[in-house]
Structure 1
Amino acid sequence: MTPVVTADALVIGAGHNGLVAAAALADAGWDVVVLEASSTPGGAIRSAELTPGYVSDLYSAFYPLGVSSPAMLALELDRVGLRWTHAPRAYGHPRSPDDEDAPVIHHRPEDTAAMLARHDPRDGDAWMQVVEQWNRIRDPLLHSLFGSAFPPVRGATQLFRRLGTAETLRFLRFALLPARAMAHELFHSEAARCLLLGNAMHADVPTDAPASGILGYLLTMLAQDVGYPVPVGGAGELAAALVRRAERPGARVVYDAPVVRVDVSGGVATGVRTAGGEHYRARRAVIADVSAPALYGSLLPHDAVPARVHRDLETFEWDTPVVKVNYALDAPIPWRSASLNGAGTVHVGADDDGLVRWNADLVTGRIPERPFMLFGQMTTADPTRSPAGTESAWAYTHLPRGVVDDASADLLAARVDTVLEEHAPGFAASIVGKHVQRPSDLTRSDANLFGGAVNGGTAQIQQQLVFRPSPGLGRAETPVQRLYLGSASAHPGGGVSGAPGLSAAKAALADSGPVGAVRRRAVGALLELVLR
C-alpha cells in the first residue's frame, strides 16, 4: 500500500505560477509539495535542442513581465543564478515586404523618438510624451494589473493620487480604447502606430475591440523601459531558477506525478490523488496551476462545484490556437530592412489595415493567406543559443478559434515561410532545421495549452477581471474551501507575471491567519451570492 504524504500545501503543476506560489508559501514557513505531471518543470517555460547545437524556446521566449511584475521581482531570481540578456534593439515592425526602414524600439527613448521623427516630425515629440506619462504611472499601473490583490485597491489608489481625478478619468477612457483607435490618437505615422499595434496582437483581442489597446501600450512601454529580456541559455533556465527559488526555503517538486483528482470532504479540499495511485493530504491548502475547465470539469467531484459554475464554464472561451515554427538557420536573417538585424522580436506580416484583415480571417474561420506573426531572433538576443554566425529563431501565429487539425496547422506554417521569404529574401535557403508545433502538439506537451491556447483563455474583456474565469470567480478563492486557482485562467491571465500564483498563495496564507475563519466565511458567503 502506497503511504500517504502530508504537507501544509499541495501545488498542482510546476508551471511558473505554481512555482511562484510554492516559493511564497515556503517563505512563510509552510511545508509545500509541488506535483508536476511531466518530467521537467516550467509549464510553458521550457527550451530544448530541436536541432543539435540550437537551443529553441518551446513556448514563451521574451519576458518583459518577468523583470517588472511585482510577483517576479519579489523572488530576486538573480540570487539563485538567473542571468538576463537583451538584443541590441527590443523589437521592430516592418510595414510591408518592401519596407527598408522598419521602425524599431531602441534602448534609449530619445533614440526611438529620433527614429520616429524621421517618419513624421510630430511623432518624436508624441513618443516622448507617452514615455513621460508611463514614467508617472508605471508602478501603480503594474500593481493594478499584476499585483497579488484583487480587486487592486492599492494600485488604483496610487494611480488616482498620481494623476488626480480629471486625469485618472482620462486615463481610464484611454485604457478602454481599441488598439487601433489608441494608435491613431497617439501617433500620426504608420511606423509609430505599428509599434503599438503589433504588441496588442500578443493577445487574442482584435484591434477594434474595446480595451485591446492597453496591452499594446503596456508591452510597448515595457519594451522602452526594461526591454524584452531573455534568460541566458534558454527559457528552461528561467524555469530552473524558479525551482531553485522554491526549493531554497524548503518546497519539494515531485515530477511525473499527474494529479487526476482533488479530494473534497465537507466542502473543503483535503488532498489530491495522482495517476500513479499516490495520495497526498493537504493540511492547509491546495493550489491549482491548471486551467479552469480542467479544475472544475475533471479534477473536482462534480457535486463539489455549484451547478452555476458548471453552466458558466460551458461558455468558457479559449484564446485562438497557436502554430509555432522553430527554425535553425546557418546565417543571420537577410531582412530587407537593416534595422531589424538587431531586434530580438519582429512583428511580421501586416500593417495597420492588414491587422484588421488578419483578424477578420480568424473571426470568420478562414486560414489566413498572409498570416501576421511574432518572430523571435533568439541568437541575436542571446549568443549562447546557437553557433556564431547562425540564428536560432521561431515564428508563431494563430489559427481561427476551433480550427486545430494538423492539416490546417501545416498549411499555415507553409504560409509563414512564404511571408518570411518576402520580408527576408534568401531566408528559406538558410534553414538547416525546422520543427512545427501544432495545436495538437502543444496540448500533448502541456494540458494547460488546450487546443493550442497559450493564455489560459481569451484576454477579451468579457473574460477578464471579475469575469475570469467566469462571472464571480475573479479572485483566487474557489467555491471549495482551501482550494485556490493559481493559473493563467485566473486574473490577470496569461503572460509570465507570476501574479495568479502569488495571489493564490496570499489568499491561502490569509485564510490560515488569525482571522482566517472569518475571512473564509465572508468569501464563502460572497461566492454563494454570486453563484446562485
Structure 2
Amino acid sequence: MSAPDAVVVGSGPNGLAAAVILARAGLDVELYEAADELGGGLRSKALFRDDIVHDVCAAVHPMAAASRFFRAFDPAARGVDLLLPEISYAHPLDGGRAGLAHHSLDATCERLGPDGPRWRALMAPLLDRSRALVDLMLSDQRHPPTDPAVPFLLAGRVLRHGTPLAGRQFTGPEAAALLAGVAAHVVGPMPTPASAAVGLLLGHLAHGTGWPVVRGGSGALARALADDFTAHGGRVHTGRRITDLREFHRSRAVLLDVGPKEFLRIAAPRLPARYRRALAAFRYGPGAAKVDYLLSGPVPWANPEVGRAATVHLGGSHTEVFRQETLVSRGVRTDRPFVLVVDPAAADPSRARPGARPLWAYAHVPNGDDTDPVALVTARIEAYAPGFTDTVLASRGVSAAALEHYNPNYVGGDIAAGAMTLTQSLIRPTLRPDPHTTPLPGVYLCSAATPPGPGVHGMPGYYAARSALRHEFGLRRLPSLAPHPPA
C-alpha cells in the first residue's frame, strides 16, 4: 500500500486546520489521533446526563470568530452557529458590584461612569483596526503587519497596562478589574507586556466579533472541520498514539499537533543534540484545574446582571488578580485563585433542560498540582454567588496533573502549551527562521507551542500547512477554504 502524501498527528483545532488545508490542496492525507474521538481541546460530551452536553476543554471562542483561518473556513455557512451573549464577560467584585463588558462598547462605557471615556479611548481605536490587529497578533511573527499603524497603537497601551503603571489607568475598581480579568487569560505573572497584549486582544474583541459559544457545544466545530477533511479525501485513524515518527518515513510531509515534550518522545533519536536541548529547555506555565458542574438552575450571582454573561472572571480587584497570578506562576498554591467560569446556557439556552444546566470552570494553579479542585472552585463561586452550592446536582474535578493525562500537550496542566512569557510569545518553541519547521526534512510542528500560541484559531496549523505545501510540494498558493463540494 502506498504511503500518503502527508500525515497529520493530533486532531486539536490546529491539527484539524492543517489537515483541512492539505486535503483541499489535493494531497492524499491521513490524520492520526491518540484518543478515541477527534477534537482535542474542542471535544464535548455528556458527563452526568445524556441530554446535557459539557465542553471538556475550550468553551468560549473569541478567536474562532476572528482568526484568518476561521474567517476563510466560515463555520456559520457550515451550520455551526457562534452565539454571542449580550454581555461578553463579567467580573464580580465584593459588595455585589461588578464590571460588565457588554458586547456594545457604548453600553460598557455608560456603565463604567468616570472610567467610561478611558475605556473608550483604550478600545475604540483597536476596534477601528480590529482585523489588522488580530492578524498581527495571530501572525507567524515573521512578516510585516498589513497596517503599520497597529504596532504603534499596541505599543503605548502595552507599556501602560503591562507595567506597574497598570494600576493607575482607571479611577474605579470595575474597569481595572475588567481588564485585569481578561489579561489573566495569559496564565502567568502580572502585569507584564504579554498579559497586557492578551488583554487588549481579547478585550477589544469583546466589543467586536465577540466572545461566542458554539451552539450545542464546542464539538460541533471539531465535527465541521473533520467533515470537511474527509469530504476532500482525508482518512482518519483514532485510538492511535504514535510512538515512533519513523513509521511515516515514506510520506513527504508530517505535521505534528504536539508539544515539545511529545515531539521529543517520538523523535528524539533523530533530532540533533542542540535542538533536543532547546526543546527540553522550553518552559511551561501554571496549570488549569477544571471543574464541570450540573446545576439545578442559574448561578445565583449576588449581582444578577452577571448572569447575562457567558464568561465570568473571579479574581477580585485588579491588584488581587495581579497578586494571585504572580504567586501561582511561582508555584505557590493559594485558596483564592483566579477562576474562570463559563455558563454556556447564558448564550445558548438549548444547552439547558428544565431543572438542569451545565457549568464550566477552571482555576489557575501551580504547574503539576494534583489536588482535586472541586471544593476550591466551588468556594470561589459561592463567594460571589451565595447559595451556589445548593444548586449543584453533580460535579467532576480534573486536577492540573490529570489534565496532562487527558492531553499530553497540556504539560502539568498548562493549557497554553508553554509559558506565555514575552520571549516565548515570540520564540516558540525554539529560535528558527520558520518556527514551524524542524531539523528533520519534511517534519513540521503545528501545535499551540508554535506561533501564534494558544487559542482556538487554527493558525499554527494554517502556517505549518502553508510552509509544508511550499517546501515539500512546490505549492505557493493556499487552496480556498470556502464551503463548497470537493472537486
The 1:183/1:104 distance shift into structure 2, 3 A limit, reads farther
1:127 aligns with 2:141: no
Corresponding position of 1:72: 70
Residue 325 (structure 1) shift? 0.7
**Distance across 2 between alignment mates of 1:182 and 1:488:** 30
1:291 aligns with 2:259: yes
Indicate conservation of the 8 Å contact 2:301/2:307, yes or no: yes
**Distance across 2 between alignment mates of 1:301 and 1:101:** 53
**Distance across 2 between alignment mates of 1:170 and 1:141:** 9
Corresponding position of 1:45: 42
Q: 1:458 aligns with which of 419, 431, 435?
A: 419
Corresponding position of 1:322: 288
The 1:5/1:87 distance shift into structure 2, 3 A limit, reads farther
**Distance across 2 between alignment mates of 1:170 and 1:145:** 13
**Distance across 1 between alignment mates of 2:53 and 2:410:** 21
CA offsets 1:10-43 (integer angstroms, 9 cap, x no match):
0001111011001111111111111111111111
Q: 1:106 aligns with which of 98, 102, 106?
A: 102
Q: For 1:105, what is the secondary structure of its paired residue? A: strand
1:505 aligns with 2:471: no
Q: 1:233 aligns with which of 183, 204, 216?
A: 216
Code of the residue aligned with 2:445 in structure 1: it is L
Corresponding position of 1:152: 143
Indicate conservation of the 8 Å contact 2:14/2:462, yes or no: yes
**Distance across 2 between alignment mates of 1:257 and 1:197:** 41
CA offsets 1:456-514 (integer angstroms, 9 cap, x no match):
1111112122x211233762111111111000111111111111000000001111354
Q: Aligned ranges for residues 289-438 of structure 1 at < 5 Å? A: 289-295=257-263, 297-302=264-269, 304-388=270-354, 390-401=356-367, 403-405=368-370, 409-410=371-372, 412-438=373-399
Q: 1:34 aligns with which of 31, 35, 39?
A: 31
Corresponding position of 1:526: none
Please, what TM-score do these two structures have when normalized by structure 1? 0.85
1:22 aligns with 2:10: no
The 1:178/1:128 distance shift into structure 2, 3 A limit, reads closer
Q: For 1:326, what is the secondary structure of its paired residue? A: strand
Unaligned runs of 5+ in 1: 264-270, 273-279, 517-532
Q: For 2:289, what is the secondary structure of its paired residue? A: strand
1:489 aligns with 2:477: no
**RMSD (Å) for aligned C-alpha atoms:** 2.0
Indicate conservation of the 8 Å contact 1:177/1:212, yes or no: no
Residue 202 (structure 1) shift? 0.9
Code of the residue aligned with 2:256 in structure 1: it is A
Indicate conservation of the 8 Å contact 2:180/2:322, yes or no: no
Residue 443 (structure 1) shift? 1.9
**Distance across 2 between alignment mates of 1:515 and 1:85:** 36
200-209 or 17-26, larger mean C-alpha shift:
200-209
**Distance across 1 between alignment mates of 2:475 and 2:380:** 59
Higher RCO, Cα 8 Å, sep 6+ = 2
1:82 aligns with 2:80: yes
The 1:152/1:473 distance shift into structure 2, 3 A limit, reads closer
284-293 or 359-368, larger mean C-alpha shift:
359-368
The 1:237/1:514 distance shift into structure 2, 3 A limit, reads closer
The 1:261/1:478 distance shift into structure 2, 3 A limit, reads same
Code of the residue aligned with 1:292 in structure 2: it is P
Residue 181 (structure 1) shift? 4.5
The 1:474/1:174 distance shift into structure 2, 3 A limit, reads farther
Residue 180 (structure 1) shift? 5.9
**Distance across 2 between alignment mates of 1:54 and 1:425:** 24
Corresponding position of 1:520: none
Corresponding position of 1:62: 60
Unaligned runs of 5+ in 2: 477-487
Indicate conservation of the 8 Å contact 1:179/1:200, yes or no: no
The 1:319/1:138 distance shift into structure 2, 3 A limit, reads same
Residue 89 (structure 1) shift? 1.3
Residue 143 (structure 1) shift? 1.4
The 1:313/1:415 distance shift into structure 2, 3 A limit, reads same
**Distance across 2 between alignment mates of 1:39 and 1:307:** 34
Q: For 1:395, what is the secondary structure of its paired residue? A: strand
Corresponding position of 1:277: none
Code of the residue aligned with 1:298 in structure 2: it is R
The 1:486/1:182 distance shift into structure 2, 3 A limit, reads farther
Q: For 2:185, what is the secondary structure of its paired residue? A: coil
Indicate conservation of the 8 Å contact 2:154/2:197, yes or no: no
Report the count of equivalent residues.
475
**Distance across 2 between alignment mates of 1:127 and 1:235:** 31
**Distance across 1 between alignment mates of 2:163 and 2:458:** 29
CA offsets 1:333-358 (integer angstroms, 9 cap, x no match):
11111220101001013211111321
Q: For 2:358, what is the secondary structure of its paired residue? A: strand
**Distance across 2 between alignment mates of 1:499 and 1:364:** 30
The 1:515/1:379 distance shift into structure 2, 3 A limit, reads closer
Indicate conservation of the 8 Å contact 1:32/1:252, yes or no: yes
Residue 6 (structure 1) shift? 1.3
Please, what TM-score do these two structures have when normalized by structure 2? 0.92
Using the aligned pairs only, state the percent identity. 31
